[in-house]
Structure 1
Amino acid sequence: MPNLPLSPIRTGGRSVRFFDQHLDVDGLSFNIRRSDRRKTLQITVERSGELVILAPPEATESELVEFVQEKLLWVHTKLEEKARLQRRAPVKEFVDGEGFLYLGKSYRLRLVDRQLVDLTLKNGRFCLRTASVHRGREVFISWYIRKAQAWFEKQTLQHSNRMDVNINEVKVQDLGFRWGSFGSEGRVSFHWKAALLPPRIAQYIIIHELAHAHHPDHSAKFWIKVEQHLPDWRARKEWLAENGMQVEGL
Structure 2
Amino acid sequence: MPNLPLSPIRTGGRSVRFFDQNLNVDGLSFNIRRSDRRKTLQITVERSGELVILAPPQATDSDLADFVQEKLVWVHTKIEEKARLQQRAPVKEFVDGEGFLYLGKSYRLRLVDSQLIDLALKNGRFCLRSASKHRAREVFVSWYIRKAQAWFEKQTLQCSNRMDVNIEEVKVQDLGYRWGSLGSGGRVSFHWKAILLPPRIAQYIVIHELAHAHHPNHSTKFWTKVEQHLPDWRARKEWLAENGMQVEGL
Partner amino acid, structure 2, of 1:211: A
Shift of 1:131: 1.1
2:151 maps to which residue?
151
> What is the 5 A alignment of 1:95-114?
95-114=95-114
Question: How does the TM-score come out when normalised to structure 1?
Answer: 0.98
Partner amino acid, structure 2, of 1:77: T
Correspondence 1:83 to 2:83: yes
**CA deviations over 1:96-151 (Å, ceiling 9, x no partner):** 00000000000000000121111110110000011111111111000000010000
Q: Distance in 1 between matches of 2:162 and 2:120?
A: 34
1:56 maps to which residue?
56
How many pairs were matched up? 250
- Aligned to 2:120, what secondary structure does the other structure show? strand
Give ranges in structure 2 of 5+ residues lacking alignment. Answer: none
Question: How does the TM-score come out when normalised to structure 2?
Answer: 0.98
Correspondence 1:30 to 2:30: yes
**CA deviations over 1:3-38 (Å, ceiling 9, x no partner):** 322222333332311122110010000000100011
Give ranges in structure 1 of 5+ residues lacking alignment. Answer: none
2:228 maps to which residue?
228
> What is the 5 A alignment of 1:134-145?
134-145=134-145
1:163 maps to which residue?
163
- Aligned to 1:44, what secondary structure does the other structure show? strand
- Aligned to 1:110, what secondary structure does the other structure show? strand
Shift of 1:248: 0.4
**CA deviations over 1:154-201 (Å, ceiling 9, x no partner):** 000000000000000000000000000000011000000000000000
Q: Once superposed, what is the RMSD of the aligned Cα atoms?
A: 0.8
Q: Distance in 1 between matches of 2:89 and 2:134?
A: 20
Q: Is the 8 A contact 2:11 2:66 kept in 1?
A: no
Q: Distance in 2 between matches of 1:188 and 1:153?
A: 10
